[in-house]
Amino acid sequence: MKGIEIRNTSKDFGNVHALQNVSVHFEENKIYGLLGRNGAGKSTLLNVITGRIFANNGEVLVDGETALENDSITQKIYMMSEKNYYPENMKIRDVFGWTKEFYLGFDTAYAIQLAERFELNIDKKVKSLSTGYSSIFKLITALSTNAPYILLDEPVLGLDANHRDLFYRIVIEKFSENPCTVIISTHLIEEAAGVIDHVVIIKDGEIIKDESRDDLMSKGYTATGAVSVVDSFIADKNVLGTDSLGGLKTAYISGALDRSTVPSGIEISKMDLQRLFIQLTNS
Amino acid sequence: MKLKSTVKYQIIDIGKPVSIFYFVLFCILVFGFTVSGARFVISGNVVSTTTGPEISGMELATVVFLFVCGLNSFKEFFRMFMQNGISRKTIFISRLITILDVCTGMAVIDKGILLLGKLIASISNRILYKGLFEMIYSVRADRISALHMHIDGFFFNLCLYLAAMTIGYFITIAFYRMNRIAKITVAVGVPMVLLNGLPTLDAVLLHGAVMRALVNAFTFAFGFQNGGNPYFGMVTLLLIAAVFSCLSWLMARRAVVKD
């Protein structure tokens, strides 16, 4: 089976259950949003996929083969981490050079072109970069590897709005020219929502949603109106959560909407991903 | 196969420190030879002025250098290679190949330096220049031909370098795997036990039996009995390198990337 398949994987750190019997399949040539609150298990899941840490149990298959300690498989995956794992004294130019040694598909010309677009000086050393530029050099490296599976852990950490916008545009450009699987683990859901095809939401180490973005969005809506009207409207519905402000109440509802049942005084709108995420992950 | 690239990365990385090391060594030797007329004597870590000027055992510096290189050869490489999708097995095998390459290369260079030093010493006719092997197995070195001595010396040095670097490598991985409390315990406890606890216990309760046993074991392991047999020493050093390599693998195979 093509893609990354995680089967019944658990990981504990002492008494903390970082992953609990997680099973999820990241298919080929899709952009995934791996969403979760701080400490939900996103980075742990990505680290288990790449074999940087060991799961307590379960297995990770990539294109049907066991990924752990398998050089031919790990060659297919590149993970950009929040932390820097390159030598501090290495120049960005040399990072590109060495990445080319390890990822044969690495496109140096493309990396240099991206560096110019982000105004990154590739003669600088890794240790001299700011948080934002540290993310940028890792992003550029990741996107230039041409690996079939690119894992981005907090890719826009420290990036200003312009660079974030540029990053999302480059991901879309890259994907349309050379489709691959991109897994974006991020907190900035609203921004990433325009890029991702498929949403995986993780909460307390468990996958609570694994659906295409469109399906997920179509399965819910928000109803806003006076408190009493909204309360009576949602009485028989699957309510994910509510917000109240003054005399107004907004309810986040999961399920199909029957417009004929909507009373006057209630405004229906589409649920946005960030709202849905907040409602799903609020404990 | 990523093995070749992984070895290449490590060889290039160690190239600079090796160059600096030999530059410093070269300066020391030039200095030693230059001031030898003033009866400046360097004898490994022993200074002597009883005979003519003597320069010997310079390979000990290589042993220390390689041990330190071993100590600095895990964390940064491990993170870099894990970032680039290299398996632990490949990292470990590539490290062993790198150790073998570096030790062989430095044993060759050291032999070249030794031969050059001996040539200069013979021209000056005043300076005595001796290698580490001649110092350790002096009785045997006097008995065998120069060619035989140099061949034995080369392989002895190689085995010694391998042992030094693999021990350093093991220590650094072991420390990497330990938590902070274990690191402190080992860093303080092991020297205390070996340098204070064991000798005191041995002297007070066992009347030196442990020390005698250690000396006997050392004498046997390095073939110092009957005029000295360096092949015992070589086998012992190779066994040490093999044991520490195996222990390193046991540590490295479950190592995880730490922030």
**A53/B256 CB distance under 8 A:** yes
Give A159-177 pLDDT, tens digit per residue. 999 999 999 999 999 999 9
Average pLDDT, chain A: 93
Average pLDDT, chain B: 91
**A85/B82 CB distance under 8 A:** yes
Give A82-93 pLDDT, tens digit per residue. 999 999 999 999
Give B193-242 pLDDT, tens digit per residue. 999 999 999 999 988 999 999 999 999 999 998 778 999 999 999 999 99
Partner-chain residue, chosen from B5, B79, B259, that has the shortest CB–CB distance to A102: B5
Tell me the backbone φ, ψ of residue A180, rounded to 5 degrees: -155, 175
Using the Cβ of A54 and the Cβ atoms of chain B, whether some distance falls under 8 Å is answered with yes
Using the Cβ of A103 and the Cβ atoms of chain B, whether some distance falls under 8 Å is answered with yes
DSSP A56-68: SEEEEEETTEE-T
Quote the crossing angle between the two packed helices B3-34 and A92-102, to the nearest 10°. Answer: 130
Residues of chain A in contact with residue B1, where contact means CB-CB under 8 angstroms, are 71
DSSP structure class, residue B35? G
pTM for the full predicted model? 0.91
Cα gap B14→B101, rounded to integer Å? 11
**Nearest chain A CA: its distance from B2 CA (Å):** 6
Query: What share of chain A has pLDDT > 70, as a percent?
Result: 100
**B87/A70 CB distance under 8 A:** yes
Task: Label residue B104 exposed, middle or buried (CB < 10 Å: 0-12, 13-18, 19+).
Answer: middle
DSSP B43-87: ETTB---SSS-EEE-THHHHHHHHHHHHHTSSHHHHHHHHHTT--
Looking up tokens 């020493």 gives B233
- Is a pLDDT exceeding 70 seen at residue B43? no
**B82/A52 CB distance under 8 A:** yes
**A71/B85 CB distance under 8 A:** yes
Could you tell me if A95 and A144 are in contact, meaning their C-beta atoms sit under 8 angstroms apart?
no
Collapsed DSSP state (helix, strand, coil) of residue A26: strand
Pairing of strands A181-186, A198-203: unpaired
- Is a pLDDT exceeding 80 seen at residue A33? yes
Looking up tokens 């996107």 gives A143
Rg of chain A over Cα atoms, rounded to whole angstroms, equals 21
Give A228-262 pLDDT, tens digit per residue. 999 999 998 888 888 898 889 999 998 888 888 89
Give B16-29 pLDDT, tens digit per residue. 999 999 999 999 88
Give B45-89 pLDDT, tens digit per residue. 444 445 567 788 889 999 999 999 999 999 999 999 999 999 999
- Give the strands of the sheet with A266-270, arranged side by side: A238-245, A248-254, A220-226, A266-270
Structural domains present in chain A: 4-215 (3.40.50.300), 220-281 (3.30.70)
DSSP A198-212: EEEEEETTEEEEEEE
